[in-house]
Amino acid sequence: MKTKYVLITPVYNEAKLIEQVIKSVIDQTIPPQKWVIVDDGSTDRTTKIIKQYEVKHNFITCLRLQREDVESYYSRRVWVVLTGIEAAKTLDYDFLGVLDADITCEPTYYEGLLVEFDRNPKLGIAAGVYKYEINGCLHKVLIDRLCTPGSNHVFRRECYEQIGGYIPLKYGGDDSLVDIMARMYGWKTWNFDEYPVIQHRPVGTGDGRSVLWARFRQGLTEYGIATRPAFMLAKSFRRAFLEKPYLTGSLARMAGFLYGYWLREERKIPPAAIDFVRREQIRRLFSCL
């Protein structure tokens, strides 16, 4: 079984959580060959905490950037991740992982995913299903099994290089786009219930906004990745009864999607990916019917 993987973590002012994240990676039964933590100009104690562990563990490397004004929080995060990937490009590795600075994993998390890659040579991107923590309580996240969250997914290196890597998007969705591109090239994408992780902030609130804003932004994301209106309507209707905040969350998501159409911003994804995902969504709608 191949076990060489590189891990990339973007951070900005994560002093409250980064030590937990570092400890969870150090405790992995199969640690990364290299872990590049890219600090995007933190103004709190984040850098100091990382440096304390960097001197003790030779697989940890901390890069510090000068934070700049950018198009959006989401596109900036991708540029930071790409900086880490560029720093590791000369290394000999088989898998590439991205781990956000608010995610903690069980010690066997990466070993489990590596086993799945070994079982299925066509598995291109894999992740564990995540739960998010609010006031000490864990909440299951409703997610499609074909989707691999960008906060904790792992690529087969061949897959990552074939699809051309991440594309920064103003409203996020870069993780959805790499999933689409991977399936377009014949790879499988999957998230596994067997390997859960904990996200210590509600999904989509990393920029300090509310959950309802996160739902609205997710609607904008769906517009940006060319989701069909019929598919979006079906998805929002289903989640209105299954995902908190019930109904209002789906209304906010649908409002964001419609706002995207009103803005008519140019989609920054390849035309071939648009054609593929829309055909895929039609098949999924008919399969449900």
* HSE of 106, CA atoms in CB hemisphere, 13 A: 15
Residue 143 tokens read as: 């997610």
Dihedral over Cα of 243, 244, 247, 251: its sign: negative
Question: pLDDT at position 140, please?
Answer: 74
Q: What's residue 141's pLDDT?
A: 76
User: What is the full DSSP assignment across 41-70?
Assistant: --SSSHHHHHHHHHTT-TTEEEEE------
Domain borders along the chain are 5-206, 209-289
What is the end-to-end Cα distance of the chain in Å, rounded?
A: 41
Walk along the chain (289 residues) in steps of 10 and give the mean pLDDT of each run.
97 96 98 97 96 97 87 88 97 98 96 98 95 72 88 97 95 95 98 93 61 90 94 91 86 94 89 95 84
d(CA 152, CA 171): 19
The 10 Å Cβ neighbour count of residue 237 is 11
Q: What is the pLDDT of residue 289?
A: 65
- What's at 34, amino acid-wise? K
Alpha-carbon gap, residue 35 to 63, rounded angstroms:
11
Q: What is the pLDDT of residue 207?
A: 52
Say if CB 198 and CB 138 are below 8 A apart. yes
The model's pTM = 0.92
User: Cβ contacts of residue 44 below 8 Å, gap of 6+?
Assistant: 13, 14, 15
Q: How far is CA 287 from CA 256, 274, 284, in A?
A: 26, 20, 5
In CATH, the number for domain 5-206 is: 3.90.550.10
